[in-house]
């Protein structure tokens, strides 16, 4: 069997690991303020371990308060960095409360009852509560920018310190024969959890950048609507029998460009896109190219849906030349094999609408 390393060796490994991540995060600090918060978090943890190692056990009371505060503060800085990443204030009052309780409670118990199993158990239990409280917002996050998974992973890894510390607390009350082994458990956990949690933090900005790149590939750069690539990527989800595909075309759009210039023509397209997006809920809204748009929506009556949409997006806007829209609406049927079939039917109906005086038509 493998021999368990002594506490001093494990502490040195944790110091080296936290020092390495301190360098990494500060080196990346120019990429965003959140990296510096994570860097200070790794540095704080490293500093608390170094102080503990230099002074030795038992720590003076004032040093115990300081190291416990720094240890909890290092975990708070992880959450603070994520909050800064979201553009929020780094710290909120409850985070300071957690750090304060972690610094004061173990020392207060030690002052009242002295050293022993109870004091050691209280210290471990307090650390467990602190780590879980500061990890919980990451676990419960509802981020929609592609970073939910790495946030949850980082939070789960940090929260695993809670059962580690609780195990130490319970065992300290149960037996004094395993004290040396128990002291090694948090440092053993460091070798896995600390590095993995910091890697998850590094994943957060990468995940957002990847989402933004995907969105750029699937978005029309002028209007911000979905494009044909997005239509192809989500075609299977859109092909729901009973839904309605509405194909919209701007009437005489070339004349608007010729008379007023392409910049005005672009402004007209943006205005139409904004109107189409207004109150769409779960609808799919895309610009297929040029002056052609597509909306896939739930509607009981395709004709009514087409007319409502035409009126909503075809009213014109102050400062822009007037425009009208022709709309073709086709219901998605159970036998349709692709969304392109539905769009083709809507396209035929849209041209029928143009022939009928530029209004709306539905199947």
Q: What is the DSSP track for 301-344?
A: -HHHHHHHHHHHHSS--TTS----EEEEEEEPPTT---HHHHHH
**pLDDT greater at residue 303 or residue 331:** 331
Which of 349, 323, 337 lies closest to 245, judged by CA?
A: 349
Q: What is the mean pLDDT of residues 48-55?
A: 83
- Residue 176 pLDDT greater than 80, yes or no: no
Write the pLDDT tens digit of every residue in 98-141.
999 999 998 898 888 877 778 888 888 999 999 999 999 999 99
- CA 328 to chain centroid: 38
For position 175, what pLDDT does the model report? 62
Among left, alpha and beta (phi > 0; psi -120 to 50; other), residue 102 is alpha
Helix (H) or strand (E) holding 248: strand 243-250
Tell if the pTM clears 0.85, that is, is over it.
Answer: no
- Residue 262 pLDDT greater than 60, yes or no: yes
CB 225 within 8 A of CB 283: no
Q: For the chain, give me the number of helices (H) and strands (E)? A: 14, 5
Q: Taking the CA of residue 128 as centre, how many other CA atoms within 13 Å lie in the half-sphere pointing to its CB?
A: 15
Q: What are 306's two structure tokens?
A: 């087409």
Q: What is the mean pLDDT of residues 74-94?
A: 95
Give the whole-number percent of the chain exceeding pLDDT 70: 92
Q: What is the mean pLDDT of residues 258-274?
A: 92
Query: What is the distance between the alpha carbons of residues 32 and 200, in angstroms, rounded to a whole number?
Result: 16
Reported as a pLDDT band with limits 50, 70 and 90, residue 184 is confident
Write the pLDDT tens digit of every residue in 188-198.
888 888 889 99
CB 246 within 8 A of CB 309: yes
For position 135, what pLDDT does the model report? 95
Which of 128, 124, 137 lies closest to 91, judged by CA?
A: 137
Which of 322, 327, 334 lies closest to 353, judged by CA?
A: 327
Q: What is the mean pLDDT of residues 169-176?
A: 69
Query: What is the distance between the alpha carbons of residues 339 and 37, in angstroms, rounded to a whole number?
Result: 48
H helices present in 160-178, as ranges = 161-174
Q: What is the mean pLDDT of residues 217-236?
A: 92
Which of 305, 266, 265 lies closest to 283, judged by CA?
A: 305
- Residue 360 pLDDT greater than 80, yes or no: no
- CA 184 to chain centroid: 35
Going by the DSSP 8-state scheme, the letter that residue 90 receives in this structure is S
Burial environment of residue 334 by CB neighbours within 10 A (0 to 12, 13 to 18, 19 or more): exposed
* Concatenated DSSP letters of 213-271: HHHHHHB-TTT--B-HHHHHHTHHHH--TTEEEEEEEETTHHHHHHHH-HHHHHHHHHH
The verdict on whether omega for the bond into residue 125 sits within 30 degrees of 0, i.e. cis, is no
**pLDDT greater at residue 179 or residue 201:** 201
CB 246 within 8 A of CB 306: yes
Lowest mean pLDDT among 9-18, 77-86, 127-136, 176-185: 176-185
Q: What is the mean pLDDT of residues 45-64?
A: 81
Which of 279, 316, 310 lies closest to 293, judged by CA?
A: 310
- Residue 95 pLDDT greater than 60, yes or no: yes
What are the residues whose beta carbons fall under 8 Å from the beta carbon of 266, sequence distance 6 or more? 222
**pLDDT greater at residue 58 or residue 145:** 145
């Amino acid at each position: 069997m493998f021999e368990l390393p002594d506490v001093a060796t494990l502490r040195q490994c944790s110091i080296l690991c936290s020092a390495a991540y301190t360098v990494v995060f500060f080196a990346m600090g120019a990429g965003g303020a959140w990296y510096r918060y994570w860097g200070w978090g790794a540095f704080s943890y490293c500093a608390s371990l170094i102080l503990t190692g230099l002074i030795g056990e038992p720590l003076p009371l004032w040093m115990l308060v300081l190291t416990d505060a720094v240890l909890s503060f290092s975990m708070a800085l992880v959450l603070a960095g994520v909050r800064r990443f979201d553009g929020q204030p780094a710290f909120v009052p409850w985070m300071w409360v957690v750090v304060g309780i972690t610094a004061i409670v173990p020392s207060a118990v030690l002052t009242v009852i002295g050293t022993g199993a109870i004091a050691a158990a209280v210290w471990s239990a307090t650390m467990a509560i602190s780590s879980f409280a500061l990890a919980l917002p990451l676990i419960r996050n509802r981020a929609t920018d592609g970073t939910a998974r790495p946030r949850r992973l980082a939070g789960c890894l940090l929260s695993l310190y809670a059962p580690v510390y609780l195990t130490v607390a319970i065992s300290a009350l149960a037996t004094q024969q395993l004290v040396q082994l128990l002291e090694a458990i948090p440092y053993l956990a460091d070798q896995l959890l600390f590095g993995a949690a910091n890697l998850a933090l590094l994943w957060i900005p990468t995940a957002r950048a990847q989402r933004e790149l995907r969105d750029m590939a699937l978005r029309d750069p002028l209007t911000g609507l979905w494009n044909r690539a997005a239509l192809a990527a989500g075609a299977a989800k859109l092909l729901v029998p009973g839904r309605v595909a509405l194909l919209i075309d701007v009437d005489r759009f070339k004349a608007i460009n010729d008379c007023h210039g392409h910049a005005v023509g672009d402004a007209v397209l943006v205005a139409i896109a904004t109107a189409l997006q207004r109150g769409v809920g779960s609808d799919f809204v895309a610009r297929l190219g040029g002056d052609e748009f597509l909306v896939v929506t739930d509607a009981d009556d395709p004709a009514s849906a087409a007319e409502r949409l035409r009126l909503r997006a075809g009213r014109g806007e102050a400062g822009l030349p007037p425009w009208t829209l022709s709309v073709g609406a086709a219901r998605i049927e159970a036998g349709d094999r692709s969304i392109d079939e539905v769009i083709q039917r809507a396209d035929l109906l849209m041209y029928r609408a143009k022939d009928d005086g530029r209004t709306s038509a539905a199947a």
